[in-house]
Amino acid sequence: MIILGIETSCDETAASVIEVKNDKVKVLSNVISSQIEIHKKYGGVVPEVAAREHVLNILPVVNEALVEAEVNPPNPLYQGGARYSAPLTRGGRGVDAIAVAVGPGLVTSLIVGVETAKTLAYAWQIPTIAVNHIEGHIYSNFIADQNIKFPALILTVSGGHTNIVLMKGHGKLQVIGETLDDAAGEAFDKAAQLMNLGYPGGPVISQWSEKFKTQSTEHKNQTKHKAQNTKQITLPRPIIQKPGFDFSFSGLKTALLYELQKDKKWRKRIPEYCHEFQQAIVDVLIFKTIKAAEKYKIRSVLLSGGVSANKELRSQLETAVKTKLNKAGFYMPELKYTTDNATMIATAGYYKAKRKKFTPWQKLKVDSNLELT
């Protein structure tokens, strides 16, 4: 089965083509046009700007994905629009279905992807599959691994969401914990803003944090060094001991703000602030995930979402699963599938298609607050 995936829920315009045989996913193309450079100057995503950019990018991105995957004749999108109704063929291959992210996300951005999917489905007379964006992140793990054992537990950490999902099988998803306020990625972005480090905050805080690790190692290696009088920076691990699996990160950002306000020399200690801030988030995420995995007798732990690109989170969670959980496997997506992309949407779409969960294009609807399940 060949699926075209479309993703426009935030600031990435993405399209991908996958070919799946017996659950084995072959990625034929994965095209992403990121708007990060445009939103950088505002310190975050501006919804109206994002939507306008999606409008400009969507057709070239979809076209590139089809051309790269070699499933389309040249420039089909510009040759007659809706009159072009033959299913795509080249080398005998055609697109069988279109999977599109319908929510959650920015409503005006989502509309661009959804309207494009509807139009193509009508023109090509092929079925559509509505995909939840978070479900897409979860399925980024199924791009490479089709043998993940259930029950699985997924920690999804992105700019807009942070939750723990119990997955008893395909289509059997239950949110067992979520953030009560800011998402982990949002916390990284806001912390970076407080320290004027740029946008997006996650990668930049992670880089500064690496500097702290190098500095500390160099420091330890010096035989003669001045005694450091500076007090170690410590930030809270919010609601880590609270029963249940919910998170809260807005207090952590405020705690950082207070520390910075008290410290006149904070600009000289940015690596250390970043390191502690990152570690506070990583500690809470890992603690709650392991606790939930123990409770539900989990056989696989999966990591997903933009923050899953974080090097420390990846390695520390992997170690925690291996040392603390008996016989549970650990999975995380390749780096290119951690942040928003359409391959994960197409893959989630494939598993829905397998269960015959198609939505007629006339009924495809954007839902910016779409819940999982």
Report the Cα 135 to chain-centroid distance in Å. 10
Determine phi and psi for 176, rounding to 5 degrees.
Answer: -110, -10
**Which of the ranges 22-30, 172-180, 236-244, 301-309 carries the binding residues for ligand KG4, by CB under 6 A?**
301-309
Residue 186 interacts with Zn ion (CB under 5 A): yes or no: no
Least Cβ distance, residue 10 to Zn ion (angstroms) = 6
From residue 372, how far is each of 65, 138, 274, 292, 330 by CA, in Å?
Answer: 28, 11, 32, 18, 22
- When the beta carbons of 46 and 257 are compared against Zn ion, the nearer one is 46
Distance CA 137, CA 152 (A): 14
Residue 238 interacts with ligand KG4 (CB under 6 A): yes or no: no
Bond before 200 cis per omega within 30 degrees:
yes
Select the residue interacting with ligand KG4 from 136, 203, 271, 333 (CB under 6 A): 203
Residue 159 interacts with ligand KG4 (CB under 6 A): yes or no: yes
List of E strands, the chain = 2-7, 12-21, 24-34, 97-103, 128-132, 152-157, 162-169, 172-178, 300-304, 329-331
Least Cβ distance, residue 33 to ligand KG4 (angstroms) = 13
Size of residue set near Zn ion by CB under 5 A: 2
Residue 17 interacts with ligand KG4 (CB under 6 A): yes or no: no
**Which of the ranges 36-44, 214-222, 304-312, 320-328 carries the binding residues for ligand KG4, by CB under 6 A?**
304-312
Residue 11 interacts with Zn ion (CB under 5 A): yes or no: no
* List of long-range contacts for 241-246, beta carbons under 8 Å, 24+ apart: 244/177, 245/164, 245/176, 245/177, 245/288, 245/291, 245/292, 246/177, 246/178, 246/179, 246/180
- When the beta carbons of 118 and 133 are compared against Zn ion, the nearer one is 133
Select the residue interacting with Zn ion from 155, 321, 340, 341 (CB under 5 A): 340
Distance CA 358, CA 129 (A): 5
Ranges within 313-342 binding ligand KG4 (CB under 6 A)? 339-340
Contacts (Cβ under 8 Å, ≥6 apart) of 79:
73
Q: Pick one of ligand KG4, Zn ion, none as the site partner of residue 200 (Cβ within 5 to 8 A by kind).
A: ligand KG4
Select the residue interacting with ligand KG4 from 136, 160, 238, 333 (CB under 6 A): 160
> Burial, 241: exposed, middle or buried (Cβ in 10 Å; 0-12, 13-18, 19+)?
exposed
Residue 304 interacts with Zn ion (CB under 5 A): yes or no: no
Distance CA 161, CA 173 (A): 16
Beta bridge partners of 156: 163, 304
Q: Which residues of 43-64 are buried (b: 16+ CB within 10 A; e: fewer)?
A: bbbbeeebbbbbbebbbebbbe
What is the sign, positive or negative, of the torsion defined by CA atoms of 45, 248, 168, 154?
A: positive
Least Cβ distance, residue 258 to Zn ion (angstroms) = 30
Select the residue interacting with ligand KG4 from 5, 103, 136, 201 (CB under 6 A): 201
Select the residue interacting with ligand KG4 from 30, 63, 141, 310 (CB under 6 A): 310
Residue 271 interacts with ligand KG4 (CB under 6 A): yes or no: no
Distance CA 11, CA 74 (A): 27
**Which of the ranges 28-36, 123-131, 165-173, 183-191 carries the binding residues for ligand KG4, by CB under 6 A?**
183-191
Least Cβ distance, residue 120 to Zn ion (angstroms) = 22
Contacts (Cβ under 8 Å, ≥6 apart) of 292:
153, 164, 166, 176, 177, 245, 298
Residue 29 interacts with Zn ion (CB under 5 A): yes or no: no
**Which of the ranges 58-66, 79-87, 196-204, 350-358 carries the binding residues for ligand KG4, by CB under 6 A?**
196-204
**Which of the ranges 53-61, 146-154, 201-209, 264-272 carries the binding residues for ligand KG4, by CB under 6 A?**
201-209
Residue 189 interacts with Zn ion (CB under 5 A): yes or no: no
Least Cβ distance, residue 158 to Zn ion (angstroms) = 4
Q: Pick one of ligand KG4, Zn ion, none as the site partner of residue 309 (Cβ within 5 to 8 A by kind).
A: ligand KG4
Amino acid sitting at position 183: A
Distance CA 40, CA 121 (A): 34
- When the beta carbons of 135 and 189 are compared against ligand KG4, the nearer one is 189
| Binding footprint of ligand KG4 on the chain (CB under 6 A) | 10, 158-160, 185, 188-189, 200-203, 206, 305-307, 309-310, 339-340
